[in-house]
Amino acid sequence: MKKIGVWLIGALGSISVTVILGSLLLKKDMSHSTGMVTETEPFKGLKLVPVEAMQFGGCDIRNGKLYETTNQIVQKNAGLDPAVIEAVRAELAQIERNIYPGTSFNCGEAIGELSAVSGERGKSLREEIEEVVGLINGFKLSNGLDEVVVVNLASTEPLLELKDYHYDITALNHCIDKNLKNSLRASAIYTYAAITSGCPYINFTPSNGALFPALVQLAEHNSVPVMGNDGKTGETLVKSALAPMFKDRNLQILSWEGFNILGNMDGQILDCDENRQSKIKSKDAVLGKILGYTPHSQVHIDFVPSLGDRKTAWDFIHFQGFLGTKMSLQFVWEGYDSALAAPLVLDLVRFAEFGHRRGEAGLMPHLASYFKDPIGVDEHGLHQQFDMLIDYVEKTQKASKA
Amino acid sequence: MKKIGVWLIGALGSISVTVILGSLLLKKDMSHSTGMVTETEPFKGLKLVPVEAMQFGGCDIRNGKLYETTNQIVQKNAGLDPAVIEAVRAELAQIERNIYPGTSFNCGEAIGELSAVSGERGKSLREEIEEVVGLINGFKLSNGLDEVVVVNLASTEPLLELKDYHYDITALNHCIDKNLKNSLRASAIYTYAAITSGCPYINFTPSNGALFPALVQLAEHNSVPVMGNDGKTGETLVKSALAPMFKDRNLQILSWEGFNILGNMDGQILDCDENRQSKIKSKDAVLGKILGYTPHSQVHIDFVPSLGDRKTAWDFIHFQGFLGTKMSLQFVWEGYDSALAAPLVLDLVRFAEFGHRRGEAGLMPHLASYFKDPIGVDEHGLHQQFDMLIDYVEKTQKASKA
Amino acid sequence: MKKIGVWLIGALGSISVTVILGSLLLKKDMSHSTGMVTETEPFKGLKLVPVEAMQFGGCDIRNGKLYETTNQIVQKNAGLDPAVIEAVRAELAQIERNIYPGTSFNCGEAIGELSAVSGERGKSLREEIEEVVGLINGFKLSNGLDEVVVVNLASTEPLLELKDYHYDITALNHCIDKNLKNSLRASAIYTYAAITSGCPYINFTPSNGALFPALVQLAEHNSVPVMGNDGKTGETLVKSALAPMFKDRNLQILSWEGFNILGNMDGQILDCDENRQSKIKSKDAVLGKILGYTPHSQVHIDFVPSLGDRKTAWDFIHFQGFLGTKMSLQFVWEGYDSALAAPLVLDLVRFAEFGHRRGEAGLMPHLASYFKDPIGVDEHGLHQQFDMLIDYVEKTQKASKA
Amino acid sequence: MKKIGVWLIGALGSISVTVILGSLLLKKDMSHSTGMVTETEPFKGLKLVPVEAMQFGGCDIRNGKLYETTNQIVQKNAGLDPAVIEAVRAELAQIERNIYPGTSFNCGEAIGELSAVSGERGKSLREEIEEVVGLINGFKLSNGLDEVVVVNLASTEPLLELKDYHYDITALNHCIDKNLKNSLRASAIYTYAAITSGCPYINFTPSNGALFPALVQLAEHNSVPVMGNDGKTGETLVKSALAPMFKDRNLQILSWEGFNILGNMDGQILDCDENRQSKIKSKDAVLGKILGYTPHSQVHIDFVPSLGDRKTAWDFIHFQGFLGTKMSLQFVWEGYDSALAAPLVLDLVRFAEFGHRRGEAGLMPHLASYFKDPIGVDEHGLHQQFDMLIDYVEKTQKASKA
């Protein structure tokens, strides 16, 4: 069995810890694969790598012990008996040795305050990138891995204003050579390092600075598949399942208001205005793209500490039907964010490794259903996106038989 | 322009009146086609009959004036200025002349009590059928119509226990000849009459006695297209849009509880146990068909008079994700039933006429998205059903070009 | 310090176990008194017995170990770390020795099925009563208790149709002497035994057979305070807080529809029609009593196993204001039933002991705020009932100073 | 019968128009007094002026015809048949003659933009006040009124930062004499004019600049009763009914998040940050005052034009009970703002006139239940406030009998 490394940026965060814990429990048959799309019928014949083949490492800007962090996170998640952690305590200790200090370079104040070390370490951009390359390669070599997939699960960065050089890899390289510090945030340093190390890369965060067009070009040149942005786990997931219903039934959306409250670290960072803008932006496009017009719509995200890892959203949808009749649909979503995200991360690692194995390079549009803002994909309807994934599966299976 | 008759069973009910009023206002450019699926992009090239071509008639078991009934219904619908009715008062009076007394034969107590005349008129089944045939033909001849489509919009009948002869038209004819009264409810009398008059037929109600297999055979023999059962307008519509999301994401539904409250005549009839069973049965199958397993699920329907034509549903969906985490989604739907149903009725008339023109006979499975319990169709996912409709459109357009 | 026994009927049920566990944790300073009304400011000077003084015993119709049951219940309650149970394992084992087999005499099928022993043990009514008297006295003697308070926390019995002899203790005694078995359900056997043993008695269940007028007379004769019925913990609590708002503001309630879903043993028993009637009846009176008129109102209770000890209620309140404007208020209550009930049970034990000490006999109307259907009290508004409790506190304090 | 003038600031706004229309319909027995507290039992013996005795006038910064405005407002309110307006068309025309241009002096941009005339008319503060005095007196004389009550129903002004001179009438008079323009907003000009004209005054708006301490002193000196601020009609009403339940039951509020969406002019003005602050501030104090501690709490107000006069609020209340169990209560309020406010305005006019007749001067704390931020009253619990009103009624009735 091939050994697949999964290198997590933000390895001590809720989602990463849930990914790791879940994988360990799955290997021991102590939990189920519920929530993993790749474990359902249509993907049975696809020869994706098994979860058992995955080994975890990564980096985090915070100091922290993986076992203790796991304990804290399980306490906030209503579903799990804390006792199970003991069964994987040894494995957690071993994985912890593969987690290194990360960078919060140019990430803004909210993230900077979380960081155990200063965001500004006096290194040039090239040096920052090289350092990450070193970490990834070290992880691969020391664990005897056949492949490493890099996944960004770090906190949301402030919105990056894109300049011309963010659209052209040659121009971007020029900026990096000139050490133009404002051109990159930490997330781009990781992406650049991953791609140049030949690692498939997934941006599961809303940070728009993590996978801009120049970096997609870099991926194409380096023959690695990449995809993002922003895992679609909750309110936007439901939105993308419901909005096509209104469109297909020719019901006119008048207003779609969304209020999100959440209590974890994600929420704490999003409580900061500049970071929240990234998130709201990636949630925002969905409606217009699905409906073909832009109704009145506001999305609020509030930090409510008592909720822990729970995320609650109230959406109010005001719509108009025949004879001008006004009606409404409201929904309340109550999910545990990490439990929703983690199985998707495992899916994405499998698809990224699979794509790399098949020689895919650049964007993976067939993964659109996983993202709030799927790069390069205009289709935002959930079921339509899911059809794209099924089409991909069918094509690759035909190809492999041919 | 061809003249298309629309013969409504239950012509003085909320939906019928909304269909008629809406059509008249559309003809005068006093309202919009919002809510009509056939007015959206994919159907533009299909050469469906225009609403302007439709002329209305039908029957009802209640006495009642169309203008007064329309007034009452508009009062209960929040969207419409009652003044608009004056603009179509003359047209309403004319249509009223095409509305005849209907039959409540073998329809149970709740419906019987609504009826202005006794359900049992001492006629044989053949005579009952012939009477309806006479009404439909009279409507066609006296209005110079090219085609008549019959739509069942009457109150929900009690569940009919299906016997062997309901599955075989020869056996059924035998029963009718022997005047076996319990073999048919009023709805079947209408269906039989419509089909033998060469009229396409739509069962928009939950009544399972309206379009059982033997009647579908009759439609095939008579080369008329038919479809049912039970228009999908509210809670079940949302359910069929959301359930596939859970399935595709491999999230396990633990329980899906639905509570419906409504205040119109439909609600009053459904307040009666034997009638409610028909409705609940047609709502019930959806989940199991979509998910592939049957979660705990109960559907309640309560009559709440103060709501008028408004229908409110609360659905509580309890589901399980990764690591056994329990989460929930709730939704509250607040719709005006007739305003949701009426544009779909216009759509269905158009498709039925179109199918007849194209030589289709028997069931129209491509219309599955319109029905809670689409006869002969196993697919219950809304978007999958909508894809079936789009496929149909594409095939017929190719065919017409070839 | 006086030693107060608390004898729980249904001692292995969720509420009892939560009462016991909570008390043990409070004694060890491992939890807080949140939820106990008697721990708030207005009751500080009242000299109620401390929770530390309470010792627990009781009976249950099921076999079961207290530790194991506690474990199961904690797993279903999202708030508690299962590890805390270990800290009180020894105490649980000791309490278990005070829990004896109970009777399900004349309790109907649903409860009978839970019972480890047959409901019909061939004993006369007098013998059944004497057996319970023996258990209570044994508990008191063997634990050296100064007082025993009996609390009914057993499953809801089917509604008892009250006859003339249920209103007169002499007539009732006559029935018992004649061994007229249908005259009493198990709950009345307990109540009769408690009162004649000189123990204050609380009926926290909806069972109307537990504390009918003849038994209140018995309590008056024996100088013991009693109160019931049906602890007000969730939907009805909110209802009784909100309904006065509509009344005081002269807003007309058109309909108040309530849907309750719950997953514990309580729910399982209430899934049985005859038991549910008791519950719905005790929930039902509230609105009419508060508003002075009876709006359209239905209360549903459904058993949804996946919810565990969680109880969710959706209430839809349709109301009319100035100029006939129709408006609505909806609420969704998501509570853990036992966690809501247990602190109230501790409150009631304290008030019952206090009343007995003060020489009160018969009903305790000042405890109305604790009950959905407070016997002998017409006031159903929550705040008005709470004012009654505050008045009582003030009067008793004045009395004790005088 | 005495003739009571009601002089409305913002006379063409939704609430004013609903007050006027409602009164006219009540006089003609074409509507009900639902929503008027003073029409319920406890106030029957109080000899308040009848609605029939009221005559309306006022001012508005917008140009507009009363009939047309009434028509528009009725269209947005689901409850009313537009035809009824015709029945009072003549009366509306007559009232319109008593509506004069108002001032938007120092009211900020959002309100300024609504104004038909410039906020800055080159007059001194004294001249502005005199002008309003002139209007009020003109209204009184020309209509032969015995009394005039002034009610502020204008749009919410930006928060006024209170200085020392806002707390002392002598210092304030000095500022006015010196024409210190920033010391007053339009609302204070009206209040000053009303009080010095001997008119009782009600501030139904959140504008904190309308009735600050110096103006209350002025009212005391001039022997007129006054009260404010901010009519309690929706979310805060429910909040003040529910929060005491949590306090009395010793349930710890962890977070109380409120999201309000509304579509009328009020919403449009509140969409402007500086105006919204006034509103949020007056909604904010409630929880802390009731609970005795300040839980995490945010209040959002969003303008959603499609809602018209409808106001929808979702509140999420996260709380903790026994054994640390976390639970929640959510509510969704869907009200028509003007229909909720108008009957309260009629109540307040009656109480203000009654107080003036009885010789009351300065604040009317017994009216606390009507206001989100009742000046000079610490009690925020709805039922406790209502008890204050009942106490007042009982005392005044005793006094009148003595």
Distance (Å, rounded) from C-alpha B61 to C-alpha B278? 20
Complex-level ipTM beyond the 0.90 threshold: yes
Compare all CA atoms of chain D with the CA of A320 and give the residue at the minimum distance. Answer: D306
Among C311, C335, C359, give the residue marking a domain's end.
Answer: C335
Q: In angstroms, what CA-CA distances link A141 with A7, A132, A137, C138, C143? A: 13, 14, 6, 73, 69
Q: Choose the weakest-confidence range: A281-290, C270-279, D21-30.
A: C270-279
For A72-80, what is the mean pLDDT?
Answer: 73
Contact C282, C240 (CB under 8 A): no
Tens digits of per-residue pLDDT, C249-270?
A: 999 999 999 999 988 777 777 7
Other CB atoms within a 10 A radius of the CB of residue B33 amount to: 16
When pLDDT is cut at 50, 70 and 90, the band that residue C108 belongs to is: confident
CATH of the domain at B119: 3.40.50.720
Q: E strands of C189-338, at which residues?
A: 201-203, 225-228, 252-262, 296-303, 310-320, 326-336
- Asked if residue A13 and residue A42 are part of one domain, the reply reads yes
What single string gives the DSSP state of each residue in A224-240?
Answer: -EEEES-B--SHHHHHH
Asked whether residue A21 is assigned to any structural domain, the reply reads yes
Among D335, D355, D375, give the residue marking a domain's end.
Answer: D335
Dmax over Cα atoms in chain A, in whole Å?
Answer: 69
Which chains have 3 or more CB–CB distances shorter than 8 Å to chain D? A, B, C
Tens digits of per-residue pLDDT, A322-347?
A: 999 999 999 999 999 899 999 999 99
Within 8 A of D326 by CB-CB distance, chain A residues are 306
Place of tokens 């697949």: A4
Going by C-alpha positions, the residue among D179, D202, D178 that lies closest to residue D190 is: D202
Given a cut of 70, whether residue A68 has pLDDT beyond it is yes
Positive or negative, the CA dihedral A383, A387, A388, A389 is positive
Does pTM top 0.90 for this prediction?
A: yes
Residues sharing a CB contact under 8 Å with residue D201, sequence separation 6 or more, in sequence order: D149, D150, D151, D152, D191, D194, D195, D211, D219, D224, D226, D352
Q: In angstroms, what CA-CA distances link C173 with C104, C125, C129, D350, D369? A: 21, 10, 12, 60, 53
Judge: C34–D237 Cβ closer than 8 Å, yes or no: no
Within 8 A of B82 by CB-CB distance, chain D residues are 81-83
CA distance A288 to chain D (A): 17
Between vectors from CA B377 to CA B372 and to CA B356, what angle results, nearest 5°? 95
Asked whether residue C402 is assigned to any structural domain, the reply reads no
Average pLDDT across chain B, whole number: 91
When pLDDT is cut at 50, 70 and 90, the band that residue D248 belongs to is: very high
Strand partners for D295:
none
Q: In angstroms, what CA-CA distances link A182 with A60, A108, A165, A174, A191? A: 22, 11, 12, 13, 16
The closest CB to that of C330, out of B307, B320, B332, belongs to B332
- Asked if residue B215 and residue B349 are part of one domain, the reply reads yes
Distance (Å, rounded) from C-alpha B295 to C-alpha B318? 10
Going by C-alpha positions, the residue among C91, C52, C361 that lies closest to residue C216 is: C361
- Asked if residue D170 and residue D267 are part of one domain, the reply reads no
Distance (Å, rounded) from C-alpha A183 to C-alpha A167? 12
Contact B372, B208 (CB under 8 A): no
Residues sharing a CB contact under 8 Å with residue A183, sequence separation 6 or more, in sequence order: A125, A163, A165, A166, A172, A175, A176
- Asked if residue D68 and residue D45 are part of one domain, the reply reads yes
> Considering its fold, how many domains does chain B have in total?
2
Could you give the 3-state DSSP secondary structure of residue D166? helix
Judge: B248–A383 Cβ closer than 8 Å, yes or no: yes
When pLDDT is cut at 50, 70 and 90, the band that residue C275 belongs to is: confident
Q: In angstroms, what CA-CA distances link C209 with C167, C275, C280, C294? A: 12, 12, 15, 26
Given a cut of 70, whether residue A78 has pLDDT beyond it is no
Contact C188, C216 (CB under 8 A): no
Q: Report pLDDT for D268.
A: 75
Domain of residue A368 covers 4-231+339-397
Could you give the 3-state DSSP secondary structure of residue A203? strand
Residues sharing a CB contact under 8 Å with residue C134, sequence separation 6 or more, in sequence order: none
Given a cut of 90, whether residue B83 has pLDDT beyond it is no
Among A335, A358, A386, give the residue marking a domain's end.
Answer: A335
Given a cut of 80, whether residue D272 has pLDDT beyond it is no
The closest CB to that of A37, out of B80, B249, B339, belongs to B249
Given a cut of 70, whether residue C385 has pLDDT beyond it is yes
- Asked if residue A18 and residue A95 are part of one domain, the reply reads yes
Distance (Å, rounded) from C-alpha D154 to C-alpha D111? 9
For C129-157, what is the mean pLDDT?
Answer: 95
- Asked if residue A96 and residue A42 are part of one domain, the reply reads yes
Going by C-alpha positions, the residue among C212, C395, C247 that lies closest to residue C319 is: C247
Asked whether residue C68 is assigned to any structural domain, the reply reads yes
Within 8 A of D312 by CB-CB distance, chain A residues are 316
Q: Which residues of A touch D (CB under 8 A)?
A: 254-255, 257, 259, 261, 296, 298, 300, 302, 304-307, 312, 314, 316, 318, 320, 326, 330, 332
Helices (H) and strands (E) in chain B, counts: 14, 11
Compare all CA atoms of chain A with the CA of D308 and give the residue at the minimum distance. Answer: A326
CATH of the domain at C299: 3.30.360.10
For C191-197, what is the mean pLDDT?
Answer: 97
Average pLDDT across chain A, whole number: 91
Q: Report pLDDT for A79.
A: 64
What is the C-alpha end-to-end distance of chain C, expressed in Å?
Answer: 25
- Asked if residue C146 and residue C67 are part of one domain, the reply reads yes
Q: Which of C249, C253, C312 to mutate to test the interface with D (most CBs of D within 10 A)?
A: C249
Q: How many CB pairs under 8 A join B and D?
A: 10
Instruction: Give the distance, in angstroms, between the CA of residue B147 and the centroid of all CA atoms in the same chain.
Output: 19
Within 8 A of A247 by CB-CB distance, chain B residues are 40
Q: Is the peptide bond before C229 cis (omega within 30 degrees of 0)?
A: yes
Asked whether residue D166 is assigned to any structural domain, the reply reads yes
- Asked if residue D251 and residue D199 are part of one domain, the reply reads no
Asked whether residue C93 is assigned to any structural domain, the reply reads yes
When pLDDT is cut at 50, 70 and 90, the band that residue C39 belongs to is: very high
Instruction: Give the distance, in angstroms, between the CA of residue B327 and the centroid of all CA atoms in the same chain.
Output: 35
Distance (Å, rounded) from C-alpha D156 to C-alpha D153? 9
Distance (Å, rounded) from C-alpha D402 to C-alpha A236? 68
Q: Which residues of A touch C (CB under 8 A)?
A: 75, 78, 81-83, 332
Going by C-alpha positions, the residue among A339, A197, A319, A328 that lies closest to residue A264 is: A339
Tens digits of per-residue pLDDT, B122-152?
A: 889 999 999 999 999 999 999 999 999 999 9
| A375: its two tokens | 């790069």
The closest CB to that of C257, out of B257, B302, B318, belongs to B302
Burial classification of residue A378, based on how many CB atoms lie within 10 Å of its CB (0-12 exposed, 13-18 middle, 19 or more buried): exposed
- Asked if residue B156 and residue B265 are part of one domain, the reply reads no
Q: Report pLDDT for A118.
A: 64
For C283-297, what is the mean pLDDT?
Answer: 88
Asked whether residue B331 is assigned to any structural domain, the reply reads yes
- Asked if residue C295 and residue C203 are part of one domain, the reply reads no
Asked whether residue A155 is assigned to any structural domain, the reply reads yes
Asked whether residue B402 is assigned to any structural domain, the reply reads no
Q: Report pLDDT for C113.
A: 77
CA distance A233 to chain B (A): 10
Distance (Å, rounded) from C-alpha D25 to C-alpha D20? 9
CA distance C210 to chain D (A): 26
Between vectors from CA B227 to CA B226 and to CA B228, what angle results, nearest 5°? 145
Within 8 A of D318 by CB-CB distance, chain A residues are 304, 306-307
Q: Is the peptide bond before A98 cis (omega within 30 degrees of 0)?
A: no
When pLDDT is cut at 50, 70 and 90, the band that residue C120 belongs to is: low
Judge: B78–D78 Cβ closer than 8 Å, yes or no: yes
- Asked if residue C368 and residue C258 are part of one domain, the reply reads no
- Asked if residue A367 and residue A329 are part of one domain, the reply reads no
